[in-house]
């Protein structure tokens, strides 16, 4: 874990007001390190960043970066040590039901008898839910990353810098030889499972990157550090978490919209409580139920990257 911080840049008063609102929520939840910065403080924190249009920012020094695959490896190894079985290269083909309750899963390695199934299938969550006759509003959405050759002028401890107005953001690539990771969510990207890197996206993103970080002109894009992957998004960009009404034994953990690895420890704890005790002690997850979509009780989210 590299606690180098997140820095959200505001270029309008409306964005500053949104930051003030978000910081108040964070501080009420106990996050004492988050604070507002003025333009001069932003320039001192990230001298290489173009700040002529910045009127303020929010900054939390304890935000940072993790390596998701290493985290997954650690969780998996610990689970196996405690008796779990992990079937790799195994596809789920169907969920077996009896009297509106789960009774098994059919896979390419055979059937598994079980009264409990957790759908944590990421971008393919909707497919898995349909195996139990459930319509789950989770869509796959491509997100792309462009990495550069090394840029030593940008310090390793540079925070993640996010433009609120455009959604463009960048961070140092600590695993890719010291380059920069450039990220931007194209608002015109359609839903789908395409994971091919698109040069048209790169051409649209680069002007944003060069404007906010002019020193990028000192390096080049590295094709080996460019890739695409899939978010799993819901209509309100918040997760669906909890049991499925009317289908005993089926639980959902889907639609985290890019926040999954950050929410993973709490999600595992909450699901364990639901499965073992029928309720949660860590926090109330009822606002995240699948039923909120039918009721029109969507949760507003303004900070999706």
CA distance from start to end of the chain:
20
Determine the Cα–Cα distance for residues 126 and 128; give it in Å rounded to an integer: 5
Tens of pLDDT along the chain (305 residues) come to 899 999 999 999 999 999 999 999 999 999 999 999 999 999 999 999 999 999 999 999 999 999 899 999 999 999 999 999 999 999 999 999 999 999 999 999 999 999 999 999 999 999 999 999 999 999 999 999 999 999 999 999 999 999 999 999 999 998 878 999 999 999 999 999 999 999 999 999 999 999 999 999 999 999 999 999 999 999 999 999 999 999 999 999 999 988 889 999 999 999 999 999 999 999 999 999 999 999 999 887 766 77
281-285 — which CB contacts under 8 Å span 24+ positions? 285/241, 285/242
Can you tell me which residue has the tokens 């001069």?
40
Determine the Cα–Cα distance for residues 120 and 214; give it in Å rounded to an integer: 40
H or E segment and range at residue 52: none
């Amino acid at each position: 874990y590299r606690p180098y911080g997140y820095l959200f840049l505001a270029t309008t008063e409306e964005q500053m007001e949104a930051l003030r609102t978000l910081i108040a929520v964070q501080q009420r939840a106990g996050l004492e390190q988050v604070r507002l910065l003025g333009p001069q403080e932003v320039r001192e924190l990230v001298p290489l960043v173009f700040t002529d249009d910045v009127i303020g920012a929010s900054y939390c020094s304890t935000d940072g970066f993790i390596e998701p695959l290493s985290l997954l490896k650690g969780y998996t190894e610990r689970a196996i040590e405690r008796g779990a079985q992990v079937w790799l290269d195994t596809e789920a083909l169907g969920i077996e039901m009896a009297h509106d309750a789960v009774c098994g899963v059919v896979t390419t390695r055979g059937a598994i008898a079980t009264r409990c199934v957790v759908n944590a299938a990421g971008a393919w969550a909707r497919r898995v839910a349909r195996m139990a006759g459930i319509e789950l509003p989770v869509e796959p959405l491509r997100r792309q990353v462009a990495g550069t050759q090394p840029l030593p002028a940008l310090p390793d401890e540079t925070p993640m810098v996010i433009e609120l107005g455009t959604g463009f953001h960048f961070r140092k690539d600590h695993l890719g030889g010291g380059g920069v990771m450039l990220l931007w969510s194209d608002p015109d990207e359609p839903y789908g499972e395409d994971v091919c890197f698109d040069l048209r996206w790169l051409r649209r993103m680069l002007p944003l990157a060069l404007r906010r970080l002019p020193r990028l002109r000192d390096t080049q894009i590295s094709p080996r550090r460019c890739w695409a992957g899939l978010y799993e998004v819901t209509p309100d960009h918040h997760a669906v978490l909890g049991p499925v009404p009317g289908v005993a034994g089926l639980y959902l953990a889907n639609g985290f919209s890019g926040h999954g690895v950050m929410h993973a420890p709490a999600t595992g704890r909450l699901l364990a409580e639901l499965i073992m005790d029928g309720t949660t002690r860590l926090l109330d997850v009822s606002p995240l139920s699948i039923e909120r979509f039918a009721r029109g009780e969507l949760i507003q989210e303004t900070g999706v990257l």
